[in-house]
Structures are given as structure tokens and as C-alpha cells.
Amino acid sequence: MGIATLATTTLFAKGVTESVHFSAKVAFTNNGVEPGASGSVQATETMQGSVDKETMSVVVKGLTPNDPYVVTVTTVSNSNPVLLDEFNADGKGGAKLSFSNSGKAKTIGFVDGVLPLTGLAEVDIVNTNDVAVLSATRDGTSSLKYMVKKPMDDVSGTGASGTVTLSASTKKGSFNLTAAGLTGGVDYVVVVDGNNVATNTASAKGTLKISASPSPSNVLDASTITLDDATFTPVLTTAVP
């Protein structure tokens, strides 16, 4: 995760409500099959506790008028394209598709394996020859707002508690972990997706705060965050987003 510039302070880790706020816009890249085609993808997620609202809009123009196309997506966890929807371009070669998990009229529901949208890796507009005309990837994000706050689970049974907060924009990322109920003066290791990224010492009161500024891509890629003791035994863990 590239965590650096770490600091340890005394801070009691209080329980928090799980939340995710995500918004990203990506312009399609033209793959040269239909030179006049263009468009964009906008994805959003707002989750607070048990309420989760996710939407995605796909806007395209310059396709072959009235021709059929499909929208496929790949995710960080599944590189195999998933068929999201089939559509016909209008008489001018354009289309606008709205997807939502809300079940509202005039929106298209998401198929299994697509959500959460924070895990999207690529969206493609594919023609009848099974060739991607337009492609949008995470690397081409023009605007990004991402914030996740998650409580950590006590897997040690010691009564420890913790919170992880991640945020990212196109220019910067941030990582914060706070914990309490630890053993004072003992070293603890932050592990992100199986990689040891930092070692810090709990305060005399058994509290810990770790702050860092990883790259935005590392923030988006993080999925499992664990706080291990010095014997690499997990004490606290959480999955993000």
C-alpha cells in the first residue's frame, strides 16, 4: 500500500457506523473500430450502515446508428467480462443507459458480480463482432471522490477495538487506523492484503493511531486490513470497502 510518514499518538478508538462514499467519472477511450465514437461512465455509491445506494450512467455517441451493442464490465476480483446490458444506438448513434440497485423505474438493475461499484476495473461497449468499440478503465478517471470508514473486528478476543478510514481523490490518498484496548508498549503490525506495511508501538494506555498518505490507486486497491501483534497473530481486521 506504500504507507509512509507514520505517527503514533494516544487516541481512543470509538465505535463508528460503517460508511462508503464513492463517485467517479471516466471518459471512454476509442479503440479505433468506430473512430467517431465517444462517451463517458459515471459511477456512484453511498452506503451508510445497512442502506446502500449504487448508480451508474453510461453515455455514448458516434456509434453506428440503430446498431446493437452490449455493455460489459470487469471487476478487480473478476477479470472475465460480465454482460451488463444490451442496447441499440439511436438514429444518431447515441445512447444513455442508467443503472441502479434501487429498483426504480427507468433504471436497469445490476447483474450478480458487479457490485460494489468501487470494485469496477473496466467498462466496455462491444459491437456485434465481439469487439470493444469503447473502453473505460480506472486509470482514465477524470474525477474521483472516495471515502470509507469501517469498524474493525476483534478477532483476538482481547476486547480491542479499532477504526479504519480511507479516502482518495485523483491527486492524493489518505489512510488512518485508530485502535484501543491493546497491550501498552507492544509493537503492532499493519497488514494490507497480506503485505506488512508498518510497525508501530502502542501507547502506555494501549492506544494506537497510524496515519499515512498512500497513492490513490493503492487506496482503491486495498481490500483487507489487519492489525497483527508482534507474533503476527491478527488482533483486529476489516474488509474494505
- What pLDDT was estimated at residue 50? 86
Grid cell listed for 2 = 506504500
Please check whether residue 62 is in contact with residue 69, taking contact to mean a CB–CB distance below 8 angstroms: no
Does 8 score more than 80 pLDDT?
A: no
Quickly count: other Cβ atoms within 10 Å of residue 46's Cβ.
Answer: 14
Counting residues of the chain whose pLDDT is more than 90, the rounded percentage is: 82
Computed over every residue of the chain, the mean pLDDT equals: 91
Chain segment 110-150, per-residue pLDDT in tens: 999 999 999 999 999 999 999 999 999 988 889 999 999 99
Please check whether residue 20 is in contact with residue 46, taking contact to mean a CB–CB distance below 8 angstroms: yes
- What pLDDT was estimated at residue 105? 75
Across the range 34-50, mean pLDDT stands at 94
Does 87 score more than 60 pLDDT?
A: yes
Across the range 207-232, mean pLDDT stands at 93
Please check whether residue 126 is in contact with residue 134, taking contact to mean a CB–CB distance below 8 angstroms: no
State the burial class of residue 7 (Cβ atoms within 10 Å of its Cβ: 0-12, 13-18, 19+): exposed
| pTM recorded for the entire structure | 0.82
Q: How confident is the model at residue 2 (pLDDT cuts 50, 70, 90)?
A: very low
Please check whether residue 138 is in contact with residue 220, taking contact to mean a CB–CB distance below 8 angstroms: yes
Euclidean distance between CA atoms 65 and 31, whole angstroms: 18
